[in-house]
């Protein structure tokens, strides 16, 4: 079983390399991938913004009772 896993782990990069060399992605696939990456970037920035808002809100609620 371990030998099979080892062989698969060794063969996967070779297969992926040959696939990229001989079967290059089409222009449509490249555009779709770029659009997906851009949407994921927007999602990540939105999540980071919400986290930052939560941190600011928590900090203000922590400091506010001290000022009273």
Q: What is the mean pLDDT for each group of 10 consecutive residues in the chain (68 residues)?
A: 86 86 75 92 97 96 84
pTM: 0.56
- CA 46 to chain CA centroid, Å, is 14
* Rounded Cα distance, 38 and 33, in Å: 9
Q: Say what the pLDDT of residue 46 is.
A: 97
* Rounded Cα distance, 68 and 66, in Å: 6
Which tokens in the block code for residue 28?
A: 């449509």
Q: Where do the domains of the chain lie? A: 25-68
CA angle 31, 47, 35 (to 5 degrees): 5
Q: Say what the pLDDT of residue 19 is.
A: 80
């Amino acid at each position: 079983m371990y030998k099979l896993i080892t062989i698969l782990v060794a063969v996967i990069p070779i297969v992926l390399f040959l696939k990229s060399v001989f079967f290059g992605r089409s222009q449509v696939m490249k555009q779709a991938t770029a659009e997906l990456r851009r949407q994921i970037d927007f999602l990540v920035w939105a999540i980071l913004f919400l986290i930052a808002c939560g941190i600011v809100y928590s900090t203000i609620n922590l400091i506010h009772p001290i000022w009273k």
